[in-house]
Amino acid sequence: MWFIRINMSDRTYRVEPAPETYKNFGGRGMTSSVVADEVPPLSHPLGPNNKLVFSPGIVTGTAAPTSARVSVGGKSPLTGGIKEANAGTSWARDLAVMQVKALVVEGQPKDQSKSWGVKVTWDAAAGKPKVEFFDATQFEDQDLYQVFPQVYKQFGDQISIAGYGNAGQRNYANSGVVFNDESKRPSRYAGRGGLGAVMGSKRLKFILIDDKGAPGVPVADKALFEQGRKKMTDALMKHDITKPKGALNSYGTAVLINIMNEAGGLPTRNFTAGRFEGAAKIAGEAIFEGNKQRLGKELYNHACSPGCIIQCSNTWHAADGKEIASCVEYESDWALGANCGIDNLDDIAEMVRLCNAYGLDTIEAGATIAVAMQAGVIPFGDSKGAINLLHEMGKGTPMGRILGSGTATAGKVLGVTHVPTVKGQAMPAYEPRAVKGIGITYATTTMGADHTAGYTIAPEILGVSGKQDPLSPEGKAALSRAFQATTAFVDSSGHCLFIAFAILDIASGFEGMVEEANGVLGTHWSNDDVVALGASILKKERAFNEAAGIGKAADRVPEFMKTEPLPPHNQVFDVPDSALDSVFGEL
């Protein structure tokens, strides 16, 4: 198993055996370990001492279903703390089958006027991967929907692509790392936390992978792996949320719009209400029905990456049947829709397309536009104005650069006090005042406000893994802690987090995940062991953040959430600070 280190100061590379101490790591466990061990916590996120780490999950590249995820890690220019963001893409599989445990991008070229790409291929004679550099300057400052076809034309249809867009090129704190989907769109993002700018600051425009001849992922105990794979597959095929033509495959993640609205927890118009009167018009059901009307047939969703059973990625089509964008995720739909008071699906989809085209995180972009609306830059509900602001970000106008700096910075510049961020990162699509457990996750996760870090929505709203009252703070610190630790392992396994819906309800599915990992690695982890492993990853991340100056005082929601009651339930965020501190205090 290999580590590839790419040094952008002198454009050299090394392919080294993966360090023995890291042999059982993958995904988030790997990226956070390398960042914690190698990046000085006080280094500038966009300077030569930060590193950008890519790591496929433990079972990525095997026959394990729904497992083509890659984690991307580094010090975040948005939060100033450690960051892991992950995406589903063939790129993850292709890196894994070359037996690469981590690809680490280091250094920074002095000459920032040129950009470079690397192509990673399998060197059959040497029995290991090799790396070639190429000049990629010509691909800068362009719409990624125009860039990707050029790259495929030059390097062949079989490659997978990682890169950044204009946002990363301009060092925006709102910038993602883009990967291709199964139809070669630039649409799968490790979106959060500004890692696109870390890649951009190193002027590494692309990492292309051609896995021809690659040997595949070694599996230590094939029978155990197969047993686990079968249990996982059965759970995903059986659970109502994850099965074919189930909720996610039919309606996509945007199916959550209506239930969050009904629960009074759909943040609306920059987190000033928990219900949006236009919710039904932008929900997953509206996407399904709208496509049916416009295409004359039912359209079920597709996989973002190879080997996925869930297949939750939708596509929104215009009245003439042409594709506007894929994928209109719940988070994007909410951020650019309800949170901006916008109920026009065509315009929301166009905004998703623009975020993909320019390399922006849709959550941060929508939250920032909503803050700009609150400042009076454009009115709430002005979808054409919002589209224009995204173009300003992409083109790098002065206003665009302010908005590209993220919600917290834009709020300061525009004089807005009502700014929904934690550790500088915008909150996603669940209102902490209406769903207390997710507020605890937002406040305490090492990532800045991030729902995926500990998705207590499952029991608090969806009735998955039990049922808990979302308005009550009771017991929620422990709930968030347990979810955060388990998630840190799922994010290391290579599985998409959406397997959690099935494996939290179906115990054999959880066993299957552990057996798959044991089968690949030859380990003997129990269910408890993997949760403990997750907790150890959280501790590493936490230690990095504390050394970077991000401690307990940063584990808080914005003041307005403690003082302004949110309709319709008219609740404030009433979780005591002691409960927030106990999440990591008792880890």
Partner 1 sequence: MHVNVKLFANLLTHVADAKVGVPFPVDLSDGATVGDLIRLLKLPADQIKVTFVNGRSRSDDWRLESGDEIGIFPPIGGG
Q: What CA–CA distance (Å, rounded) separates 297 from 178?
A: 31
Minimum CB distance to partner 1, residue 329 (Å) = 8
Residue 273 as a binder of partner 1 (CB under 8 A): the answer is: no
Q: How many CA atoms lie within 13 A of 253 on its CB side?
A: 18
380 or 501: whose CB is closer to partner 1?
501
Minimum CB distance to partner 1, residue 406 (Å) = 21
**Largest Cα span, the chain:** 67
Minimum CB distance to partner 1, residue 500 (Å) = 9
Mode of pairing for the β-strands spanning 100-106 and 2-7 = parallel
* CA distance to 269, 292, 381, 570, per residue, from 287 (Å): 21, 8, 19, 31
Do residues 525 and 517 lie in contact, with contact meaning Cβ atoms separated by under 8 Å? yes
For partner 1, the binding residues in 341-380 under the rule CB under 8 A are none
259 or 318: whose CB is closer to partner 1?
259
Residue 469 as a binder of partner 1 (CB under 8 A): the answer is: yes
Minimum CB distance to partner 1, residue 330 (Å) = 5
Minimum CB distance to partner 1, residue 310 (Å) = 10
* CA distance to 27, 69, 575, per residue, from 54 (Å): 8, 10, 36
Residue 286 as a binder of partner 1 (CB under 8 A): the answer is: yes
The dihedrals phi and psi of 291, each to the nearest 5 degrees, come to -65, -40
Residues in the chain: 587
Among 16, 132, 240, 323, binds partner 1 (CB under 8 A): 240
Among 299, 375, 462, 547, binds partner 1 (CB under 8 A): 462
Tokens representing 469 are 């009252």
24 or 66: whose CB is closer to partner 1?
66
* Binding string, residues 307-326; x marks residues near partner 1 by CB under 8 A: -----x--------------
Among 139, 455, 483, 510, binds partner 1 (CB under 8 A): 455
Residue 467 as a binder of partner 1 (CB under 8 A): the answer is: yes
Stretch that binds partner 1, among 9-17, 182-190, 282-290, 319-327 (CB under 8 A): 282-290
What are the start-end ranges of the E strands in 180-325?
188-190, 204-210, 316-317, 323-325
Tokens representing 411 are 């709020």
Among 497, 521, 550, 566, binds partner 1 (CB under 8 A): 497
The dihedrals phi and psi of 408, each to the nearest 5 degrees, come to -65, -45
Mode of pairing for the β-strands spanning 12-17 and 2-7 = antiparallel
Among 213, 216, 244, 463, binds partner 1 (CB under 8 A): 463
Residue 474 as a binder of partner 1 (CB under 8 A): the answer is: no
45 or 290: whose CB is closer to partner 1?
290
One-letter amino acid of 7: N
Nearest Cα neighbor of 336 from 421, 267, 394 is 267
Residue 451 as a binder of partner 1 (CB under 8 A): the answer is: yes
Minimum CB distance to partner 1, residue 73 (Å) = 20
Minimum CB distance to partner 1, residue 259 (Å) = 5
381 or 567: whose CB is closer to partner 1?
567
248 or 403: whose CB is closer to partner 1?
248
How big is the site for partner 1, counted in residues (CB under 8 A)?
A: 49
One-letter amino acid of 230: K
Under DSSP, the state recorded for 283 is S
286 or 325: whose CB is closer to partner 1?
286
DSSP letters of 330-380? HHHHHHHTGGGT---HHHHHHHHHHHHHHT--HHHHHHHHHHHHHTTSS-T
For partner 1, the binding residues in 119-138 under the rule CB under 8 A are none
159 or 263: whose CB is closer to partner 1?
263
Do residues 312 and 88 lie in contact, with contact meaning Cβ atoms separated by under 8 Å? no
Tokens representing 547 are 């050394």
Stretch that binds partner 1, among 222-230, 366-374, 451-459, 472-480 (CB under 8 A): 451-459
Residue 97 as a binder of partner 1 (CB under 8 A): the answer is: no
Q: What CA–CA distance (Å, rounded) separates 323 from 333?
A: 16
Q: What CA–CA distance (Å, rounded) separates 278 from 257?
A: 10
Do residues 90 and 160 lie in contact, with contact meaning Cβ atoms separated by under 8 Å? yes
For partner 1, the binding residues in 2-31 under the rule CB under 8 A are none
Among 442, 498, 544, 573, binds partner 1 (CB under 8 A): 498
| Residues facing 6 on adjacent strands | 13, 105
Residue 574 as a binder of partner 1 (CB under 8 A): the answer is: no
Number of H helices, E strands in the chain: 24, 16
Do residues 450 and 192 lie in contact, with contact meaning Cβ atoms separated by under 8 Å? yes
Helix axes 222-238, 507-521, angle to 10 degrees: 150
Stretch that binds partner 1, among 39-47, 230-238, 414-422, 452-460 (CB under 8 A): 452-460
* Binding string, residues 323-342; x marks residues near partner 1 by CB under 8 A: ------xxx-----------
The Cβ of residue 567 has, within 10 Å, a number of other Cβ atoms equal to 14
Stretch that binds partner 1, among 69-77, 220-228, 405-413, 467-475 (CB under 8 A): 467-475
**508: three-class secondary structure by DSSP:** helix
Minimum CB distance to partner 1, residue 64 (Å) = 20
Minimum CB distance to partner 1, residue 271 (Å) = 17
* Binding string, residues 241-270; x marks residues near partner 1 by CB under 8 A: xx---xxx-xxxxxxx-xx--xxx------
Minimum CB distance to partner 1, residue 457 (Å) = 8
Do residues 389 and 370 lie in contact, with contact meaning Cβ atoms separated by under 8 Å? no
Stretch that binds partner 1, among 274-282, 352-360, 378-386, 538-546 (CB under 8 A): 274-282
For partner 1, the binding residues in 553-572 under the rule CB under 8 A are 568-569
**210: three-class secondary structure by DSSP:** strand
Q: Which residues bind partner 1 (CB under 8 A)?
A: 239-242, 246-248, 250-256, 258-259, 262-264, 279-281, 283-286, 289, 312, 329-331, 451-452, 455, 457-458, 461-464, 467, 469-471, 497-498, 501, 568-569
